[in-house]
C-alpha cells in the first residue's frame, strides 16, 4: 500500500494551512501561481508586470520587508501569507505606503512623498556649480563643447 501525501495527491485541492507564517507562502497554490506567473490569467500577469502588486494593495498587512497577510474580503488569497510582489484579481491599489484596508478610502500621507518623483538637486554656490560643470567638460572632444 502506497501512502499519498498532499504533495502528490491530485484528487484533493490544496488549501491554505491557515497558520500565520512570517516568511514564505502559506498556500502551495499561491506559490505555484507566483512561480509560474499566472499562466491562465493574462490580466493578472500584466498587473504584476506593471507593478500593481500586493505591497501596494489597500488590504496588505506587512509582516516584514518581503512578506505580509492578505486581508481583502473578496480575495481568493484572504488570510494567506503572500510575498509583497505577488498579486491577484482583487488587487485594490493604494500605493506602497500606509494602507487603509478599505475600497472606498485612501490613506492620507499628509504630503509625505513615498516615492520621490525626481532626484533633489544639490544645493551649491554658483561658483561651485560652475566648477562642477566645467570639470564635467574635461576630456570631451572640442566639437562636443560647442553643442
pLDDT per residue over 33-75, tens digit each? 999 999 999 999 999 999 999 999 999 999 988 999 999 999 9
End-to-end CA distance of the chain: 82
Q: Are 89 and 95 in contact (CB under 8 A)?
A: no
* % of the chain beyond a pLDDT of 70: 57
- Beta carbons within 8 Å of 92's beta carbon, 6+ residues apart: 57, 58, 59, 72, 103
Model confidence, pTM: 0.59
The better pLDDT of the pair 99, 77 is held by: 77
pLDDT at 95: 84
Average pLDDT, the chain: 75
Amino acid at each position: 500500500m502506497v501512502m499519498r501525501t498532499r504533495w502528490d495527491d491530485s484528487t484533493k485541492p490544496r488549501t491554505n494551512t491557515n497558520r500565520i507564517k512570517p516568511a514564505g507562502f502559506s498556500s502551495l497554490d499561491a506559490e505555484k501561481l507566483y512561480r509560474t506567473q499566472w499562466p491562465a490569467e493574462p490580466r493578472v500577469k500584466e498587473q504584476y508586470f506593471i507593478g500593481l502588486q500586493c505591497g501596494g494593495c489597500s488590504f496588505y498587512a506587512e509582516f516584514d520587508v518581503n512578506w505580509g497577510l492578505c486581508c481583502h474580503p473578496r480575495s481568493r488569497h484572504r488570510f494567506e501569507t503572500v510575498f509583497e510582489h505577488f498579486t491577484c484579481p482583487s488587487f485594490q491599489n493604494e500605493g506602497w505606503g500606509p494602507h487603509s484596508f478599505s475600497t472606498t478610502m485612501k490613506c492620507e500621507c499628509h504630503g509625505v512623498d513615498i516615492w520621490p518623483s525626481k532626484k533633489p538637486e544639490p544645493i551649491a554656490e554658483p561658483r561651485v556649480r560652475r566648477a562642477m560643470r566645467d570639470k564635467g567638460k574635461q576630456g570631451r572632444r572640442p566639437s562636443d563643447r560647442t553643442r
